[in-house]
Amino acid sequence: MSVSPPDGSVSALHPAARGKLPSATSPDAGESPQDPSPDTGESPQNPPAAHPDAGESAPSATPARDGLSGLSAAALFTAGIAALAGSVVICVRVGSSDVGYSDLAGALGRRLGLVTEPLPPLLDSLIWDLRLPRVLLSALVGASLAVCGAALQAVTRNALADPYLLGVSSGASTGAVAVTVLSVGSGSLGLTGGAFAGALVSFGLLMLLLRRTGLDSSRIVLTGVVVGQLFTALTSLVLMTSGDADITRAITHWLLGSMASARWDAVAVCAVTGAAGMVVVQACAPALDGFSFGADTAASLGVDVRTTRLVLLVTTALLTSTAVASVGAIGFVGLIVPHGVRFLAGPLHRVLLPFTALAGGIFLVWADTLARVAFSPQEVPVGVFTALLGVPLFLLVLRRRGEL
């Protein structure tokens, strides 16, 4: 069965879509899928920009292409799972001290009760306590951020939307910095708890502000930017009160994103929240297809626009806050990965979202490995490498779309 992207056959968006979408969505009309009237009810010729700095077309407005058939999608998805598993194995082995395949198998087999012969304690600790949780956490965080980016790009109809659009990451950063400077809590647990508390406060403020103005896409973007700037300023203010240069340096390193503190408890939390959040977002895939054309189109497909938007905002905020609380703010994953995957899988979200999760995991696993080994023994914050990799990739996407 052929999966047709919105660029080609709008009836593929939802079983109830046939005959309900405006004719302007047809490629023969020479207009992009963003042309149908958005939330504000303005004419298709003048859709409002969802971001003050970006009046780009909807994220689904990629060059028209045939969708993947069911067999092709299954084959590509299987290849993606194999690529992610292979990336995890290779990246666990790579480092200042190389780990053999037999050593990795021995460490895993010992935990599963399949192997009784112990490894040398230092090697066992290197694999099980340091590298494996770090690589797995990278995959989970990358998948979560990429899925959040794909969802928010559809909800806001903004090609530049990413998981940090709602200001949640700024709130998490403020909370983490506050507990560190004030010496509240202990170790990584206190840091994670403070970051999560800050994320909840910032998201609560966002919802409070949107309660009066409504949940249309432009207000979500603008209010999120305002909340983010507020908490960024608070973070800078708290940092200025710290007279300890070592603490300031450590906080700056964390703010750029770091997997160095990855432990199994963080892996478990991200696995549970990530799986639950992705299930919710995947269930909203037909609604996301409608949102790509605007709230009016989504409503015509039978979508409860306000409730679905609220569910998606809460879910993406939870995924983002969990990721930031675990590893800090890591940019470009949620921005570039969904755009790249659309060229392979097409814009329909029921196909796009699973591929985006796999690609996000692979991208961040390799970015973190490069950050760990490129300047060994000095470790570079992974956020630096995601930016270095993300900028040229994003420029390539813009060039492919004819916007550069």
Helix and strand totals (H; E) in the chain:
15, 0
Q: Which pLDDT does position 227 carry in this prediction?
A: 92
> Is residue 81 situated within a structural domain?
no
> Is residue 50 situated within a structural domain?
no
Spatial distance between the Cα atoms of 206 and 224, rounded to a whole number of angstroms: 7
CB burial readout 124-155, b (16+ within 10 A) else e = bebbbeebbbbbbbbbbbbbbbbbbbbbbbbb
Tokens of 159: 């090609």
> Is residue 14 within 8 Å of residue 290, measured between CB atoms?
yes
Q: Which pLDDT does position 278 carry in this prediction?
A: 96
Q: What is the CATH number of the domain that holds 372?
A: 1.10.3470.10
User: How many domains, in total, are found in the chain?
Assistant: 1
> Is residue 70 situated within a structural domain?
no
- The full DSSP string for 32-59 is -TT-S--TT---TTSPPPSBTTB-PPPT
Amino acid letter for position 176 = A
Q: Which pLDDT does position 172 carry in this prediction?
A: 85
> Is residue 316 situated within a structural domain?
yes
- The full DSSP string for 187-230 is HHHHHHHHHHHHHHHHHHHHHHHHHHH---HHHHHHHHHHHHHH
Q: Which pLDDT does position 188 carry in this prediction?
A: 57
Q: What is the pLDDT along the chain (404 residues), one digit of tens a residue?
A: 443 344 433 444 444 444 444 433 333 433 344 443 444 434 334 444 434 333 344 444 444 344 565 667 788 889 999 999 999 999 999 988 888 888 898 889 888 888 778 888 899 999 999 999 999 999 999 999 999 999 999 998 888 888 888 888 899 889 888 888 877 765 556 777 788 888 889 988 988 888 877 777 788 888 889 999 999 999 988 888 877 777 788 788 878 888 988 899 989 999 999 999 999 999 999 999 999 888 888 899 899 988 999 999 889 988 998 898 889 889 889 988 998 898 888 889 999 999 999 999 999 999 999 999 988 888 888 988 898 888 887 788 777 767 66
> Is residue 237 situated within a structural domain?
yes
| Residue range(s) defining the domain that contains residue 282 | 137-400
Q: Which pLDDT does position 340 carry in this prediction?
A: 87
- The full DSSP string for 8-34 is T-GGGG-TT-TTTS-GGGSGGGT--TT
pTM of the model: 0.78
Q: Which pLDDT does position 365 carry in this prediction?
A: 96
Q: Which pLDDT does position 16 carry in this prediction?
A: 41
Preceding peptide of 377 cis, ω within 30°: yes
> Is residue 67 situated within a structural domain?
no
> Is residue 17 situated within a structural domain?
no
Distance from chain centroid for Cα 375: 26
Spatial distance between the Cα atoms of 176 and 255, rounded to a whole number of angstroms: 9
Locus of tokens 């306000």:
306
Amino acid letter for position 103 = D
**Pick from 342, 343, 288, 333: which is nearest to 156 by CA?**
288
